[in-house]
Structure 1
Amino acid sequence: MDMPLPFVRRTPLLSLCTVLSLGAMAACTPAPPGGGVNDPYETTNREVHSFNKSLDRAVLRPLGQVAAEAPREVTGPVANFADNIGLPGMVLNGVLQGDVGGAGTNTMRFLLNTTIGVGGLFDPAGGIGLHEETTDFGETLAVWGADEGAYIELPVFGPSTERDAAGRIVDLVLDPLSRVGTQPQLDYGAVTRGAAIVINRGRFMQTMDGVLYESADSYLQSRSAYLQNRRFDLGEAPSGAEAGIDPFALDLEGFE
């Protein structure tokens, strides 16, 4: 009974990751058959969606309009840098998923862009065909067999599922770059990530405006877009389903 305790002390992050993962796999309820929607928290989700929509209208959308008009020489390096600092976490998730090829591609991309690309401000790796293999711990949980669980909308972060929300927590805990560098460097990384979100909001202005402000029910529209796109990306979409456009996906791959 006493043997595991020293091991836990030596590897607190691994232990926390294991606990959170097991909790997520136990808590997530099976998805409805045939690609249906499991939304038992719809009343609360709609309240959160209303808050997120107000936040977008007051902050993100106006800033996104400014970013959309800024020259690519300014916004491109910011987006590239934000993309680059997220790669170590994707490498780790690739390893946990057994995706050796994806982990190797992201490792080479990080090394090239960090060195030749001046700390990630530029994307020489993309120029030679090394494109980001996007992944996260939500996908790792899916590979490990965790069910999608109920749909939930998170404050600020937007649409998610129980599995993806648990994965987001683990990604934050395991982020290697949150534990290295000086405090000003860490703060700069956080600010850059926020700026990249604003840039992406401007990049997809028309699509997101269509979902949030031009649809009959923006909650149902954003829920459908998220679930359809996420299931397609994870290979869980029903046979014959097409990938939807996720207006909340902040993937900066290919942004130059």
Structure 2
Amino acid sequence: MTIPNFLRILPFAGTILLTACASPDEGRGINDPYEETNRAWHDRNVALDRAVIRPVSNAYGTAVPDPLRRGLSNVSDTLSIPGAVVNDLLQFELGDAVHNTARFAVNATIGLAGLFDPATEMGLEARDADFGETLHRWGVTEGAYVVLPVYGPSTERDALGLAVDVALDPVGSLLGSNERKAKTGLTVAELADTRYRYSDIYESIIYESADSYAQMRLTYLDQRRYELGTPIGSAATGETEGGGSYDIYEDFYE
């Protein structure tokens, strides 16, 4: 009997939840007890970027016209909307759930399966939601900072959120094997386009910083805390400030 994907991650989920709940409150500096291991994975990820990801993304960005790259990224974004709707419901954000459902319906039909984005022009802008955010809404603290293979910077809470989002993907669960491969290909194309589009900013962090690990850690934690509405600016100093500050990393992550 095949074990559902969600059940397979339950042991991992329990460990992460227990660790995260026992960790210091988020927004109060850097919690990095795994720094030695994290730095090793960071170095491997940088080496992978230099050897594979950067040349592939540059080739993709050079060979594929910008309108087509944007269109493929739009399709990938549209396919991710049902997952956002699930998290909206889990967070009891019914308004966002209705908004994202309408966005999906418009782009999947008028937008030709998501190739175009007429929904944004109609006032149905993207409102992302993920299971890491859902856990935050449920009171789970961010836990320790971790670096994931290939994926890069995360926290224990967001690592669990990523695993659950993959396991519970509503669209992926309805597709056949060939369609799932195509969906994965679209995701890879979107990541390659993002890497190419923001290469100057990304490379200034990982190749030009005196300590690229520390800079990436600071960038990720401040950005994620900003997204979740928790105090920002604290990853560097340990001091907390009220919400409402500007997003200093907006250009990098959009």
Q: TM-score, normalised by structure 2?
A: 0.86
Asked whether the 8 Å contact 1:25–1:141 carries over to 2, the reply is no
Aligned-pair RMSD on alpha carbons?
2.5
**Could you say which residue in structure 1 is the equivalent of 2:143?**
149
Mapped partners of 1:127, 1:43: distance in 2: 47
Find the residue that maps to 2:174 and give its secondary structure.
Answer: coil
Asked whether the 8 Å contact 1:151–1:161 carries over to 2, the reply is yes
**Could you say which residue in structure 1 is the equivalent of 2:17?**
25
Asked whether the 8 Å contact 1:141–1:167 carries over to 2, the reply is yes
Given the alignment, which residue of 121, 131, 145 partners 2:125? 131
Shift of 1:58: 1.2
Instruction: State the one-letter code of the partner of 1:239.
Output: E
Determine what percentage of the aligned residue pairs are the same residue. 40
Instruction: State the one-letter code of the partner of 2:85.
Output: V
1:184 has 2:178 as partner: yes
Asked whether the 8 Å contact 2:25–2:141 carries over to 1, the reply is no
Q: Which moved more, 1:24-33 or 1:116-125?
A: 24-33
Q: Which moved more, 1:184-193 or 1:14-23?
A: 14-23
Unaligned runs of 5+ in 1: 1-11, 252-256
Given the alignment, which residue of 26, 36, 46 partners 2:29? 36
Q: Size of the alignment, in residue pairs? A: 241
Alignment of 1:101-116 (within 5 A): 101-116=95-110
1:90 has 2:84 as partner: yes
**Could you say which residue in structure 1 is the equivalent of 2:237?**
none
1:207 has 2:197 as partner: no
Shift of 1:185: 1.2
Shift of 1:21: 5.7
1:59 has 2:52 as partner: yes
Shift of 1:161: 0.3
**Could you say which residue in structure 2 is the equivalent of 1:68?**
61
1:245 has 2:249 as partner: yes
Find the residue that maps to 1:179 and give its secondary structure.
Answer: helix
**Could you say which residue in structure 2 is the equivalent of 1:6?**
none
Q: TM-score, normalised by structure 1?
A: 0.86
Distance 1:15 1:50, change over 3 A: closer
Alignment of 1:161-172 (within 5 A): 161-172=155-166
Shift of 1:131: 1.0
Find the residue that maps to 1:190 and give its secondary structure.
Answer: helix
